[in-house]
Amino acid sequence: MSRSISLVLGSGGARGYAHIGAIEAFGERGYAIKSISGCSMGALVGGVYAAGNLENFKRWAINLDWIGALKLVDLSLLATGGAIKGEKVFEKIAPFFGDKRIEDLPIRFTAVATDLDGKKEFWFQEGDLKTAIRASVAIPTIFTPIYHNSRALVDGAVLNPLPIAPTMSDRTELIAAVNLCANYSTPLNLAPYALATERKKPLLARLKKLLIKLGLWNSRARANVTQLDIFQRVIEVMQDSMTLYKIAGYLPDILVEIPIDSCKTYDFHKAEEMIKLGYDLTLCAIDKYEARGENKVIAP
């Protein structure tokens, strides 16, 4: 008999591809996903799954290389609140959502964004699915905000990178959460998950030479640390701290922890390895849960 779960998918940029592997693992082990609450990349993957297009999205993501990712960047030359407008990437992924509305999805879905004016979380639980996801992934200063009902909305990770709270009223047997900002006391061996990237190294090497030639890459700089790297680290430190706080307040029955150092936030060419990592670590988390022999009783 399948067990019903509410699935919480956290933020973490390209590490969010691990959510695809997590969804596949839960399905294979007989867990029926009846509800999804997602933030940022978690909202994106969760929304695609709820819309019934996860397999098509997975194929597209695996075939996306660095050049393809760069082509989706549409820089905003005006002071519109973000360096990237986001229109190109959302034009590309729009077919995975279609014109679906959240209330018409076969499972309950929540996309969490941040209301800048109200200084609080904003939960999309109805309305246009694409708008909800676009707001949830709007990383401050990177993507332009979404203006919805006179609210300026940005990435939900600003306040809640692992939105467990929206699932607390679900009538499901279990709550499972996928944390993309985990720190392991003993680092995992991630070498087996780098095979796809190894195949793409010649392309990346050519891209690096081009960037050096154009003066956009300082090969002599210490560890080639860029402003984007610094911003990424600041975001990760913030998300890590808030995620621990959220987990302490709303402890899920099954917690899948994806290492924060498994890939950089903007490594969107690493879908294949992150999907496999998410799949393997989810199976481990399920095994640990089932070994404890715990069961959650649904309130009448």
Catalytic residues: 40, 155
Query: Which residues, including other chains, have CB under 8 Å from residue 258's CB and lie 6 or more apart?
Result: 12, 15, 18, 178, 179, 180, 181, 182, 274, 277, 278, 281
Contacts 24+ apart (CB under 8 A), 201-204: 203/65, 203/66, 203/67, 204/66, 204/269
Which neighbouring-strand residues pair with 148? 151
b/e per residue, 186-205, with b = 16+ CB within 10 A?
A: eebeeeebeebeeebeeeee
Question: In whole angstroms, what is the distance from residue 31 CA to residue 298 CA?
Answer: 16
In the structure encoding, which two tokens stand for residue 160, read together? Answer: 């809640």
Tracing tokens 């929206």 back to the chain, one arrives at 166
> Residues 111, 154: contact at Cβ < 8 Å?
no
Alpha-carbon dihedral sign for residues 96, 102, 107, 108: positive
Which residues have CB under 8 Å from 221's CB, separation 6+?
A: none
User: Do the beta carbons of residue 85 and residue 171 sit within 8 Å?
Assistant: no
Q: Are 38 and 123 in contact (CB under 8 A)?
A: no
Q: Tell me the C-alpha distance between 69 and 77, whole Å.
A: 19
Residue listed under structure tokens 């109200």: 118
Cα torsion 283, 246, 32, 193: sign: negative
